[in-house]
Amino acid sequence: MKKFTTMTGIAAPLDRANVDTDMIIPKQFLKSIKRSGFGPNLFDELRYLDEGQPDQDCSGRPLNEEFVLNKPRYKGTSVLLARENFGCGSSREHAPWALEDFGIRVVIAPSFAEIFFNNCFKNGLLPIVLSEAQVDQLFKEVEANEGYELTVDLENQKVVTPSGDELAFEVDDFRKHCLLNGLDDIGLTLQYADDIKAYEAKARQQSPWLFDAIK
Amino acid sequence: MAGKTLYDKLFEAHLVRQNDDGSSLIYIDRQVLHEVTSPQAFEGLRLAGRQPWRIDANIATPDHNVPTTERSGGVDEIVDPVSKIQVKTLDANCDEFGILEFKMNDQRQGIVHVMAPEQGAILPGVTAVCGDSHTATLGALGALAHGVGTSEVEHVLATQCLITKKMKNMLVRVDGELGAGVTPKDVVLHVIGVIGTAGGTGYAIEFGGDVFRNMSMEGRMTVCNMAIEAGARVGLVSVDQITLDYVNGRTYAPKGEQWDQAVAAWKGLVSDDDAEFDEVVVINGADIAPQVTWGTSPEMVVSVNDTVPNPANESDQVKIDGINRALEYMGLQADQNITDIKLDRVFIGSCTNSRIEDLRSAAEVVKGRKVADNIIQALVVPGSGLVKEQAEAEGLDKIFTEAGLEWREPGCSMCLAMNPDKLGAGEHCASTSNRNFEGRQGFGGRTHLVSPAMAAAAAIAGHFVDVRDFVKQ
């Protein structure tokens, strides 16, 4: 997994609540058996005026010029500002894969859906929860200032605005540790293989019907 | 000390390790796999040179991509080349690792959340995951079940564990009795309308009260299925005789002496009387009417006799924008009657409502009637090959086809339109599925979530009607 330490980048405001993962990456693109290449289809139905197809070259498709990420001033966006309950709906990890492939490293919102939130950390993407008032303020600032950039410092858990305001955010220790070091958590869990085996031995005695039944 | 909730008990019973950083390692008894969210997980295992921790904890079936039209030609005849690759990849991965899979034309194939409990692969007291958010369905059996992303599918394959944090507890209690014609789907849509699409975020929701105690397993599955549409990854119903009767005799359920042992263990799978919930929501069952979603989030729901909301009645700007956007996308006017919404297609199926009871309830409504002329297509898609077989044995397929509905092969179908079953742009659909998101059922498609009985009545009328009046005619 890609490490996440500190980054500075263009922020773009996606001003709608309850952005679902169907919207982030529509179903027809989930047919891929790869983890990469979803970036061109990120927000496909908002971004283009036609209906996208898997494996299609998107360079010639008609763009929805009104969509925030298509506006020239937000070219190269790496921080997405969003509203409440971002990433709700389907558990598809293709959503963070698409965001990451597009170049987004941070999503800031007042709240996230849990599965999406969790999936982000597995893919070097940092979802940050700030208060509604703070997010509102960022929306105002980014809309008022072309070229508005945010700095995100994971080690010190703060978002820094161009005027130097520092917004502190919370992050679980374990997730922070994995992101900072780009760690694969399967490897970490396998360090506890003995604990897992001990649990299993006990479970096999208590609930033998759960073992060797499905074959 | 306060007692424990069912969720607390399930979580604690599966705790392998409490880590210093506040995260918990919990053991996962069952993983259900399908073709869309597993290929990258298997690929990850191969790239890392890892083997699955435990083969007998997994069960698989293709469901999202499979065609629901005649498919005796097998996987090679799936027309969409990308879908075909995905189904073939699942088959190859399960064959390679020795995982039990019900392949596309196996009678036991079906939608993961229909197939797994039907087979007894999910039992009371287990922890279960699947790379699909509707895994919440399985909580109806008193199991701790939730959706995970593909990285976690791989994590569970490799370690049989999940790194997680304990959720908070919410009790949604629905007291009393439901009125005639009001179904489990109406109950859960109403609940989502009350607590909102993010109201359950961070919680495991236990559904309690007389309404759920008297509800069938199929109904409980419908309710738990949509816990995720209220933001909760987990929905739960405590174990009772209805649960035990449902599980008894299923293929992978314990038998003989082990059955007695299991039943003794499962009887404790209830929340203690003095358990403390972080949040309690109480609803009177008699207040629930048949529900219809009008917008693009499951919380945008009203009773069939209501009108489409007017943004002028809201004060919050984000909400007003949301309503306006939804009205525009759905092609509806504020204050118009729900019963005036004309429909183009009807879909009866999905992991929410494709079990035998759902089909019976829809068949009862359409029996001896005809689908309205303005309905382009009305699909009935059973949740599994076994549900299909049962329905055919009861003659339900004939009732549907004689009324002008199409009777299909099992799969996810038009719930998310990864296969050829989809809505055209601008078309309104009465759907028994779980999500009315923009484009969910097809590019530009307009989804209205309803119960099977309401969908069936809408198919006959060509627009929404209150099924309670309709069945009296």
pLDDT tens digits, one per residue of B209-258: 999 999 999 999 999 999 999 999 999 999 999 999 999 999 999 999 99
| pTM greater than 0.90 | yes
- Alpha carbon distance A211, B54 (integer Å): 9
Residues in B closer than 8 angstroms to A26, CB to CB, are 439, 443
Exposed e or buried b per residue across B193-206, where buried means at least 16 C-beta atoms within 10 angstroms of its C-beta: bebbbbbbbbbbbb
Distances (CA, A) of B53 to A169, A178, A190, B162: 36, 22, 10, 13
Residue B157 and residue B68: Cα distance in Å, rounded? Answer: 29
Note the maximum CA span of chain A.
65
Does B36 have pLDDT greater than 80? yes
Rounded to two decimals, the ipTM of the complex is: 0.95
CA distance A153 to chain B (A): 20
All residues at 6 or more sequence positions from B419 whose CB lies less than 8 Å from its CB, including other chains: B64, B65, B66, B67, B68, B80, B83, B411, B412, B413
Nearest to B198 among A88, A119, A195 (CB): A88
Return the DSSP state at B275.
Answer: B
Mutate to test the interface with B, among A67, A122, A207, A215 (most CBs of B within 10 A): A207
pLDDT of residue B2: 86
Give yes or no for B21 touching A (CB within 8 A): yes
Residue of B180, B209, B173, B172 lying closest to B286 (CA atoms): B180
DSSP string, chain A: ----SEEEEEEEE---S--BHHHHS-GGGGG-SSSS--GGGTTHHHHBSS---TT--GGGSPB-TTSGGGSGGGTT--EEE--TTBTBS---THHHHHHHHHT--EEEES-B-HHHHHHHHTTT-EEEE--HHHHHHHHHHHHHSTT-EEEEETTTTEEE-TT--EEE----HHHHHHHHHT--HHHHHHTTHHHHHHHHHHHHHH-GGGSS---
Per the CB < 8 Å rule, is A113 touching B201?
A: yes
The helix/strand/coil state of B283 is strand
Interface of B with A in 404-433 (CB under 8 A): 416-418
A114–chain B nearest CA distance, Å: 7
Q: Say yes or no for a CB contact (<8 Å) between B131 and A91.
A: yes
Instruction: Quote the pLDDT of residue B257.
Output: 97
Among B16, B158, B228, select the one facing A186 at the smallest CB separation.
Answer: B158
* Per-residue model confidence (pLDDT) at position A69: 98
Instruction: Summarize pLDDT for A62-77 with one digit per residue, the tens.
Output: 999 999 999 999 999 9
Average pLDDT along chain B: 97
Distance from CA of A170 to the nearest CA of B (A): 14
A174, A186, A215 member nearest B19 (Cβ):
A174
- Count CB neighbours of B17 within 10 A: 17
Q: Is A32 on the interface with B (CB under 8 A)?
A: yes
Residue B263: pLDDT band with limits 50, 70, 90: very high
Q: Least CB-CB distance to A91: which of B40, B148, B440?
A: B148
> Which of A186, A190, A195 best probes binding to B when mutated, by most B CB atoms within 10 angstroms?
A186
pLDDT band (50, 70, 90) for residue A1: confident
- CB interface of A with B, residues 156-185, below 8 Å: 172-174, 177, 184-185
Give the residue among B99, B85, B87, B14 at the shortest CA–CA distance from B52.
B99
Judge whether B363 and B393 are in contact, CB under 8 Å: no
Under an 8 A CB cutoff, do B36 and A185 touch? no
Which of the residues A38, A88, A176 would you substitute to probe the B interface, choosing the one with the greatest number of B C-beta atoms within 10 Å?
A88
> pLDDT grade, residue B473 (50/70/90)?
low
With a cut of 70, say whether residue B207 has pLDDT above it.
yes
Counting beta carbons within 10 angstroms of the beta carbon of residue B258, is it exposed (0 to 12), middle (13 to 18) or buried (19 or more)? middle
CB of B438 within 8 Å of any CB in chain A?
Answer: yes
User: How far, in Å, CA of B75 to CA of B85, rounded?
Assistant: 9
CB contact under 8 A, B56 and A212: yes
Using one digit for the tens of pLDDT, what is the confidence trace for B270-305? 999 999 999 999 999 999 999 999 999 999 999 999
At what angle are helices B452-461 and B184-195 packed, to 10 degrees? 100
CA nearest to B39 within chain A? A33
Task: Tell me the one-letter amino acid at B402.
Answer: E
Min distance A171 CA to chain B CA atoms (Å): 11
Residues of chain A contacting B55 with CB distance shorter than 8 Å: 215
**Dist. CA B439–CA B274, nearest whole Å:** 45
Q: Mutating which of A181, A209, A215 best tests the B interface, going by the most B Cβ atoms within 10 A?
A: A209
B140 pLDDT band, cuts 50/70/90, is very high
Residue of A nearest to B440 (CA): A22
CB contact under 8 A, B438 and A186: no
**Tokens standing for residue B30:** 């069952």
Binary contact (B438, A45; C-beta < 8 A):
yes
The proportion of chain B whose per-residue pLDDT surpasses 90, expressed as a percent, equals: 97
pLDDT at B472: 64
A92 touches chain B (CB under 8 A): yes
CB B291 within 8 A of CB B451: yes
Check CB contact of A146 with chain B, cutoff 8 Å: no
The CA distance from B236 to the nearest CA of chain A, in Å, is: 17
Q: Does B65 touch chain A (CB under 8 A)?
A: yes
State the pLDDT at residue A170: 98
Is B324 part of the contact surface with chain A (CB cutoff 8 Å)?
no
Percent of chain A exceeding pLDDT 90 equals: 97
Q: What is the mean pLDDT of residues B433-446?
A: 97
Residue-wise pLDDT for A5-63, tens only, equals 999 999 999 999 999 999 999 999 999 999 999 999 999 999 999 999 998 999 999 99
Give the model's confidence band at A169: pLDDT under 50 very low, under 70 low, under 90 confident, else very high.
very high
B201 and chain A: CB distance < 8 Å anywhere? yes
Average pLDDT for residues B129-150, to the nearest whole number?
98
DSSP H helical ranges for B58-146: 81-97, 112-118
How far apart, in whole angstroms, are the C-alpha atoms of residue B152 and residue B93? 17
Is the CB of residue A115 less than 8 Å away from at least one CB of chain B?
yes
Pairs of CB atoms within 8 A across A/B: 202
Give me the mean pLDDT over the A91-102 stretch.
97
Pick from B59, B125, B197: which is nearest to A85 by CB?
B197
- Per-residue confidence band for B20, with pLDDT thresholds at 50, 70 and 90: confident
Range B134-159 average pLDDT: 98
**Rounded to an integer, what distance in angstroms lies between the CA atom of residue B120 and that of residue B102?**
14
